C-alpha cells in the first residue's frame, strides 16, 4: 500500500497527521515515500505535510528513520521550503547517533551555517546548534565566534540566552 498523498492537504488536522505517523511506523515503506514527497523543490502544502508526518513518525519511533539520514539530508538540499527544511532536520535528528556521526561533516557545516546566517529564523538557529552537536565533530573557536556574534545580535532575548548558555558550556569544556 502506498502513502495516501492526496490526503496531505491544507488544514490537515494534527490528529490525522499523528495517525499517519503511527501508520508510518507500522508501514516503514511509507518513509521513503514521505521523503520523496517532501523533497519536491516546488514546495507547497503537500511537501510540508509530508515532512510534518515524517517528523512525527520519527518522534514516535526513531527506528523508522534508521538508515535514512543521507536520504533526509538529500531531501533538505532538494527542497526550497524553509518549513520543510525545519521538519526534515528535526526528523534527521532522531536518526541513530552512529549514523549521524557518518554525516558529521555535512551536519557540522549545515549547523554552523544556520547559526551564522542572521537571516535564519530563531527556531532554525536552535536546530543548527542541535546539528552541530549531532555532528560529533569538535566544536571550537569557529563555533564560539559564530555563537557569540549571533547571540550579540539576537532577535529575541530567549535566543540570546540560549546561545549564551551554549557558549558558556563550550568555554567550560575548554573548547571555545
Cell for 156? 529575541
Q: Which of 29, 25, 12, 98 is nearest to 55 (CA)?
A: 25
Nearest 5 degrees, angle CA 120-CA 106-CA 90? 55
Nearest 5 degrees, angle CA 29-CA 34-CA 40? 140
pTM confidence score: 0.91
Low-confidence ranges of the chain (pLDDT < 50): none
Summarised one tens digit per residue, pLDDT across range 46-55 is 999 999 999 9
Tell me the three state secondary structure of residue 67. coil
Any idea which residue has 510534518 for its cell?
52
Q: In the prediction, which pLDDT does 176 show?
A: 56
Amino acid at each position: 500500500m502506498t502513502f495516501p498523498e492526496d490526503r496531505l492537504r491544507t488544514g490537515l488536522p494534527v490528529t490525522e497527521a499523528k495517525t499517519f505517523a503511527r501508520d508510518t511506523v507500522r508501514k516503514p515503506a511509507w518513509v521513503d515515500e514521505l521523503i520523496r514527497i517532501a523533497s519536491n523543490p516546488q514546495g507547497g502544502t503537500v511537501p510540508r505535510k509530508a515532512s510534518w508526518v515524517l517528523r512525527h513518525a520519527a518522534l514516535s519511533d526513531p527506528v523508522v528513520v534508521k538508515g535514512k539520514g543521507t536520504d533526509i539530508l538529500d531531501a533538505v538540499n532538494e527542497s526550497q521550503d524553509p518549513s520543510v527544511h525545519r521538519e526534515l532536520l528535526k526528523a534527521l535528528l532522531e536518526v541513530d547517533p552512529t549514523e549521524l556521526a557518518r554525516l558529521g561533516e555535512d551536519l557540522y557545516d549545515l549547523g554552523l551555517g544556520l547559526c551564522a546566517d542572521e537571516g535564519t529564523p530563531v527556531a532554525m538557529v536552535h536546530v543548527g546548534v542541535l546539528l552541530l552537536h549531532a555532528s560529533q565533530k569538535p566544536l571550537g573557536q569557529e563555533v564560539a565566534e559564530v555563537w557569540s556574534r549571533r547571540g550579540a545580535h539576537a532577535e529575541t532575548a530567549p535566543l540570546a540566552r540560549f546561545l549564551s548558555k551554549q557558549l558558556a558550556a563550550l568555554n567550560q569544556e575548554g573548547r571555545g
